[in-house]
Amino acid sequence: MPMDELPTLSVEDLAAHLSQPGNAWQVVDVREPWEVATVSLPSSLNLPLSQFPAWSENIQAWIDPGRPAALLCHHGIRSAQVCAWLCHQGYTQVHNVTGGIDAYARRVDRSLPCY
């Protein structure tokens, strides 16, 4: 799937989904562990793109294909790569978060640090 055809999700829409009681959204953060230690969203799952071989073969153990998933990185580039791969694996409810954690910190929750 071409990158410009990936399903996307704005940071504002992600925040709205996550604020709903009993939301089913999975937040998958593909940044490096040091980046996640700097700033992350609660309950996000860290699957670093650099460690793709370690987690990709057993992806359904990590990401439930029956629930919507928001893929997140610093600005949305690495997460777009994983989002495209998941689409090729048959996932139909994955969305790349436009602007990544940086946009979330700047536009949704200014208490989060930017780096």
Residues with active-site annotation: 73
How many CB atoms are closer than 10 A to CB 58?
Answer: 8
Tokens of 34: 């040091």
13, two tokens: 């829409």
Sign of CA dihedral 15, 33, 78, 94: negative
**Cα separation, 64 vs 87, whole angstroms:** 13
Q: How far is CA 26 from CA 46, 72, 93, 103, 111, in A?
A: 11, 11, 10, 18, 22
